[in-house]
Amino acid sequence: MRRLSVVLVTCLALLCCTSPAVHGGAQVREDGPGTGRRGYAYGPLPHQRLVAYGHAGTAVPGPRRTGVVIVHGGFWYQQRSAGWESWARRISGAGPVVFNLDYRPNTTAPWPAQRDDVLRALRWIGKRAGHFGVDPRRIVLVGSSAGGQLAAAAGVYGAGRRHLAGLVALSPVIDPYRSWKDAGEQGRGTPGMAQMRLNTARLAGCEPRTRPDGTARRYGSGAPEAGKGEARTSVPRRAALCLRVWRDMSAVHRASGRDDPPMLLVHSRHDFVPVWHSEALRAAELAHGMPPGEATVATVPGAAHGGGLLVTPGVERMVLNWIAARERTAAPDR
């Protein structure tokens, strides 16, 4: 853990400002022992790509390592996985195998495509755990902002504890509907809130209300009210379908307590994604029987958001210690 902490310090400051990029292809590059960097397709679509750091490309005998799976943020459309590259490279040099995911943006595919991509990537990694030298019982999902929403949604979908040892979410947008609503009531608020309102609606494929003419505003061909049967679907039915999508985007409504992985949820005090998002998820998990010590919500000083939280004093150490504890309490055998 000491080595892991030291090597991260030099790169965390770059976490939120690295130029975005999309990684594709079968092999990107390999840079040497402990920092091997290879790209893979975990699905057939262009954005279903990941980059693995810290494995030799072939099965290696010896003890299996922890897997850390990163889900970047960026309002569900900005391809920011490259912004996590320095951190992924350094942490892999300290031991774990790191997988840095891309996923379909909300501009090309509506919900639940993004959650489906995260789940598909987790299955892909699990099936190839031996190839990567990863212990499938010691996989920790780490998500930032919009990626935190995806990580939480994937973690509570079904029995998440079966394939995850833990979940870390930095400024997760746990309830996109509430963010959409709050941004509207506050006159769009900050630029970040305005972006959040627009892109949560794009993610859902519709706005959770109707216009004066009785039709719902649509975002893309994947909106719930669109399709061959649209003409035969009543306005109330379309509105109900739209709200069902918004409800499904919130991890709160799928919380199942002991079936879900332990989680660490972190916000800053003045985060534009406020801590009540995570407090609501924690309350739902406790109500369904999760032990209090397995659902941790932390609020830290300042206004940092997402990956920027990692440069806030104490947050890096808190996250790394928490992941180390998950290594000692792995998920059940598959």
Range name among 184-188, 194-198, 200-204, 247-251 with the lowest pLDDT average: 184-188
- For 277-281, the CB contacts below 8 A with 24+ separation are 277/172, 277/173, 277/174, 277/175, 277/178, 277/179, 278/169, 278/172, 278/174, 280/174, 280/175, 280/252, 281/152, 281/172, 281/174, 281/251, 281/252, 281/255
Range name among 10-24, 94-108, 164-178, 222-236 with the lowest pLDDT average: 10-24
- Arch. (CATH architecture) of 2-175+256-328: 3-Layer(aba) Sandwich (3.40)
- Across the chain, mean pLDDT equals 82
Q: What is the pLDDT of residues 318-333, one digit of tens each?
A: 988 888 888 766 656 6
Contact 100, 71 (CB under 8 A): no
Contact 125, 137 (CB under 8 A): no
Q: Which of 178, 190, 162, 196 is nearest to 76 (CA)?
A: 196
Contact 51, 28 (CB under 8 A): yes
Q: What is the pLDDT of residues 232-260, one digit of tens each?
A: 556 788 888 999 999 999 999 999 999 99
Q: Given this model, what pLDDT does residue 60 score?
A: 62
Question: Where in the chain are all domains bearing CATH 3.40.50.1820?
Answer: 2-175+256-328
| Residue 56 in this model has a pLDDT that exceeds 70 | no
Radius of gyration of the chain (CA): 19
Range name among 217-221, 226-230, 288-292 with the lowest pLDDT average: 226-230
Please, which residues bridge with residue 296 across strands? 264
Q: Given this model, what pLDDT does residue 112 score?
A: 98
Contact 208, 241 (CB under 8 A): no
The whole-number average pLDDT for the span 14-41 is 48
Cα distance between residue 249 and residue 154, in whole Å: 10
CA angle at 205 for the pair 200 and 207, rounded to the nearest 5°? 65
pLDDT band at 139 (very low <50, low <70, confident <90, very high): very high
Cα distance between residue 249 and residue 244, in whole Å: 9
Contact 144, 306 (CB under 8 A): yes
